[in-house]
Amino acid sequence: MSANAPLSFVHRFEPATEAGAPPLLLLHGTGGDENDLIGLGRMLSPGSALLAPRGKVLEGGMPRFFRRLAEGVFDEEDVRRRAGELADFVREARETYGLAAPVAVGFSNGANIAAATLLLRPGTFSGAILLRAMVPLADPPAVAPTDTRVLLLSGAMDPIVPGENAERLAGQLRAAGARVEHRLLPAGHGLSQADVSLAQGWLAAPAEAVA
Ligand code: MLT
């Protein structure tokens, strides 16, 4: 069963089938939409409510979550504005659908907006799985620290995200108080089976077990 209320983002919502399973906020990559990560969400946590917005920015007709000036060069003013919009959407959707704070699961551009939201609007997510994320803001603001759990999965052969950039993002998140587990996988920018297994394990692990 799915029900979609008219909220501030076009989105897809799938209710939980298991009480207590953490809601997942699914954030697609460039050119994706609200349907892209539903299958991944079901694999990661079968009983969870799934909330999947579609990015509002169009680049040559391809949805994204914020503007970029070139590959890997972001319009940071837009990043800030869009992260605020996403955080407001999460609040709206939580009220509408009666959800706990979600775990963000973002891929590529979706991981980057999730990272920006962690840095700019802490407390929006109960945790985050960032798949092939990079630094969204060169100089993030100092915000009140939170102890949100973050799993950052990077690809050693990723042609879009240099290893140094992913390391820098891990450092920014740690400086903001997040408990970051950063893994470098033998993969490119695309997802691999190892991403799925690690994300499943991380979601299932008690918070204390992954420092
Ligand atoms: C971005 O623009 O967010 C990153 O370069 C990833 C991408 O969407 O290609």
One digit per residue, the tens of pLDDT, for the chain of length 211 reads 445 778 999 999 999 999 999 999 999 999 999 999 999 999 999 999 999 999 999 999 999 999 999 999 999 999 999 999 999 999 999 999 999 999 999 999 999 999 999 999 999 999 999 999 999 999 999 887 788 999 999 999 999 999 999 999 999 999 999 999 999 999 999 999 999 999 999 999 865 544 4
CA of 199 to the centre of ligand 1 (A): 21
Q: Is residue 32 in contact with ligand 1, taking CB distance under 6 Å?
A: no
* pLDDT at residue 207, as a whole number: 59
Q: Is residue 182 in contact with ligand 1, taking CB distance under 6 Å?
A: no
* pLDDT at residue 3, as a whole number: 57
* pLDDT at residue 206, as a whole number: 63
Which atom of ligand 1 is the closest one to the Cα of 72? 5
Residues marked as catalytic: 108, 158, 189
* pLDDT at residue 210, as a whole number: 45
Domains of the chain: 11-204 (3.40.50.1820)
Ligand 1 pocket check: which of 28, 57, 58, 71 to mutate, most ligand atoms within 8 Å of Cβ? Answer: 71
CA of 127 to the centre of ligand 1 (A): 21
pTM, entire model: 0.95
State the DSSP string of the chain.
-------SS-EEEE--SSTTPPPEEEE--TT--TTTTHHHHHHH-TTS-EEEEPPSEEETTEEESS-EEETTEE-HHHHHHHHHHHHHHHHHHHHHHT-PPPEEEEETHHHHHHHHHHHHSTTS-SEEEEES---S-SSPPP------EEEEEEETT-SSS-HHHHHHHHHHHHHTT-EEEEEEES--SS--HHHHHHHHHHHHS-GGG--
Q: Determine which residue's CA is closest to atom 4 belonging to ligand 1.
A: 109
Q: Is residue 160 in contact with ligand 1, taking CB distance under 6 Å?
A: yes
